[in-house]
């Protein structure tokens, strides 16, 4: 028998699918299937993935003649998928109730190949320092992609027949409904890898042809030890640290999703930690563990949002409060009140540049005179891939930023209702370095490429 002599499964019309010794689980796990039985002889299909141990096990099952033939592994996977699909589509009289489908999906999700596949996807993502895992159904195959240094990379494909089992496995791990394929679902998975607990935030959304599964990897790192490690240029770094020394007020970090705002806030907190002060953070979710900070995770399901937790935190006698994001008017008003009553408040906003935080706060209902009184500064940032020492590849990321520091002149024009263009004009006049200028500087220093910078900043 030679591997080149591949026989199609379609050549066999009476495959004994109910054979007790060769269950669907055995077939899928061992890549071996009984194709035909006649008297004391059997024909067994094997693939290039079938192990010698499996062949020995099959020989031990039978005293008669065994004819091993090679079959295509992809065709076998397709056959398994079709048979499982048939099981899902049996008439109601054969299914009894929905519990039968649950049992089938449970079995698919908990078979060894599926468990091993999902485990390897998670472990490889951590090993490759990915921030997110994307598993998406496709026309022919499902793609597994990792977001590494901000860029998605395809790392493997999965046969569509296997995708349902992978989806069910992830749903089971995240305590989600494995039968639900019409509504979005969110969950959380905690796994222990090399003695360390790693959390995955799971989002599953139905899409044409299947589902899109995204798993955000949390808790794989402690916060950076200090701001120096993030890539801020010396002048901006000095300005940020000057703002952090102010005992009360509001400092905002701004930028789009994935621009490193949370990392910057956590590095700031780590520098501020001291036995003499109390720091409390309110986060969604807690992404870094910072020793010396009381970290609280919001839970909207039990009405513990940013605003409700912030009200309670103010009774905890904190010196510094980090609010993960100012999302609404209530959180904005409470943050301003906290800053007015002697607390240093660190938070984030979704705006494109530092100057935009002022009109954004006004749009959220904060009066200009209050903004002038409490805002001490704003940092706008983006993340770009950093050139490796050989200048031929990328290694890690660095920040491109602009830092607005409040002064008396800026306070005055804000109080008088200056619009965004007037604020930007004032900042230009006072020589603030903008995102574009910081990007050009980092290109000139060889820290990144122009093409990479242009992905994040208009040059």
CA dist 355 to 21, 36, 263, 435, 443, Å?
Answer: 70, 74, 21, 11, 24
Q: How confident is the model at residue 86 (pLDDT cuts 50, 70, 90)?
A: low
Q: What is the pLDDT of residues 238-254, one digit of tens each?
A: 999 999 999 999 999 99
- 272-304 confidence digits (pLDDT tens): 999 999 999 999 888 888 999 999 999 887 888
| Residue with tokens 């002599």, as numbered in its chain | 5
**Mean pLDDT of all residues belonging to the chain:** 87
Residue 7 has pLDDT above 90, yes or no: no
Q: Which residue has the tokens 């903008």?
A: 434
Tell me, what's the pLDDT at 218?
A: 83
User: What is the predicted pLDDT for the residue at 425?
Assistant: 97
Please write the tens of the pLDDT for every residue from 298-323: 988 788 899 999 999 999 999 999 99
- Within 8 A by CB and 6+ apart from 404, the residues are 354, 355, 357, 377, 378, 379, 380, 410, 427, 432
Tokens of 114: 């599926």
CA distance 204 to 189: 13
Residue 248 has a CB neighbour count (10 Å cut-off) of: 16
Residues in CB range of 420: below 8 A, 6 or more apart: 355, 356, 358, 359
At 357, list the tokens.
Answer: 């935080």
User: How confident is the model over 393-403, as pLDDT tens digits?
Assistant: 888 899 999 99
Q: Residues with Cβ < 8 Å from 159, sequence gap 6 or more?
A: 74, 77, 78, 81, 141, 142
CA distance 89 to 47: 28
- CATH code linked to domain 98-218: 3.30.450.90
Tokens representing 135 are 């598993």
Domain ranges of the chain: 9-86, 98-218, 234-456
Average pLDDT score over residue span 345-359: 96
Helix axes 73-88, 98-110, angle to 10 degrees: 160
pLDDT of 4 reads 55
CB count in 10 Å sphere of residue 391: 8
Instruction: Give the CA distances from residue 331 to residues 9, 182, 212, 265, 369, in Å, rounded to whole numbers and listed in that order.
Output: 63, 33, 32, 17, 18
CA distances from 29 to 166, 274, 430 (A): 14, 55, 68
DSSP 393: S
Task: In whole angstroms, give the CA distance from residue 432 to residue 404.
Answer: 7
CATH code of domain 234-456: 3.40.50.300
Helix/strand/coil (H/E/C) assignment for every residue in 36-105? EEECCEEEEEECCCCCHHHHHHHHHHCCCCEEEEECCHHHHHHHHHHHHHHHHCCCHHHHCCHHHHHHHH
Q: What pLDDT, on the 0 to 100 scale, is given for residue 256?
A: 94
How far is residue 272's CA from residue 295's CA, in Å, rounded to a whole number? Answer: 14
**Given this model, what pLDDT does residue 385 score?**
94
Distance (Å, whole) CA 383 – CA 385:
7
pLDDT tens digits, one per residue of 138-190: 888 999 999 998 899 999 999 888 898 899 999 988 989 888 888 999 998 88
The pLDDT-based confidence of 98 (bands split at 50, 70, 90) is very low
CATH for 9-86? 3.30.300.160
Tell me the C-alpha distance between 276 and 289, whole Å: 20
β partners of residue 68:
44
Please name every residue paired with 152 in a beta bridge, in sequence order, or none if there are none. 147
State what percent of residues in the chain have pLDDT above 70.
90
What is the SS3 assignment for 417? coil
């Amino acid at each position: 028998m030679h591997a080149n002599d591949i026989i199609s499964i379609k050549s066999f019309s009476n495959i004994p699918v109910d054979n007790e010794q060769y269950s669907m689980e055995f077939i899928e796990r061992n890549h071996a299937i009984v194709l035909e039985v006649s008297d004391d002889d059997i024909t067994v299909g094997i693939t290039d993935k079938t192990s010698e141990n499996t062949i020995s096990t099959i020989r031990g099952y039978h005293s008669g003649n065994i004819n091993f033939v090679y079959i295509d592994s992809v065709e076998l996977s397709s056959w398994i998928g079709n048979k499982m699909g048939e099981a899902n589509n049996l008439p109601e009289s054969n299914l009894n109730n929905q519990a039968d489908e649950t049992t089938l999906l449970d079995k698919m999700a908990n078979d060894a190949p599926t468990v091993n596949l999902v485990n390897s996807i998670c472990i490889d993502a951590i090993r490759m320092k990915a921030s997110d895992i994307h598993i998406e159904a496709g026309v022919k195959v499902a793609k597994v992609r990792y977001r590494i240094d901000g860029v998605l990379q395809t790392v493997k494909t999965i046969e569509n027949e296997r995708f349902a089992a992978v989806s069910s496995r992830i749903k089971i791990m995240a305590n989600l409904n494995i039968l639900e394929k019409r509504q979005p679902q969110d969950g959380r998975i905690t796994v222990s890898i090399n003695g360390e607990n790693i959390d995955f935030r799971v989002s599953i959304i139905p899409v044409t042809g299947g589902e899109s599964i995204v798993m955000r990897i949390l808790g794989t790192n402690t916060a950076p030890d200090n701001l120096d490690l993030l890539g801020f240029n010396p002048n901006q770094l000095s300005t940020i640290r000057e703002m952090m020394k102010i005992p009360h007020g509001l400092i905002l970090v701004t930028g789009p999703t994935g621009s490193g705002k949370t990392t910057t806030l956590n590095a700031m907190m780590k520098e501020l930690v001291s036995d003499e002060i109390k720091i409390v953070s309110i986060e969604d979710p807690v992404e870094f563990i910072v020793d010396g900070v009381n970290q609280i995770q919001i839970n909207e399901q039990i009405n513990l949002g940013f605003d409700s937790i912030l009200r309670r935190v103010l009774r905890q006698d904190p010196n510094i409060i980090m609010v993960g994001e100012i999302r609404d008017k209530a959180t904005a008003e409470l943050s301003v009140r906290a800053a007015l009553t002697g607390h240093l408040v660190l938070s984030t906003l979704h705006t494109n540049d530092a100057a935009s935080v002022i009109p954004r706060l006004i749009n959220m209902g904060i009066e200009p005179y209050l903004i002038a009184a409490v805002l001490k500064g704003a940092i706008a940032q983006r993340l770009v891939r950093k050139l490796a020492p050989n200048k031929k590849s990328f290694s890690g990321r660095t920040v491109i930023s602009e830092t607005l520091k409040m002064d008396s002149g800026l306070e005055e024009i804000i109080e008088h209702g200056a619009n965004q263009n007037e604020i930007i004009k004032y900042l230009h006049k006072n020589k603030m370095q903008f995102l574009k200028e910081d990007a050009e500087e980092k290109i000139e220093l060889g820290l990144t490429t122009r093409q990479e910078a242009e992905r994040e900043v208009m040059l």
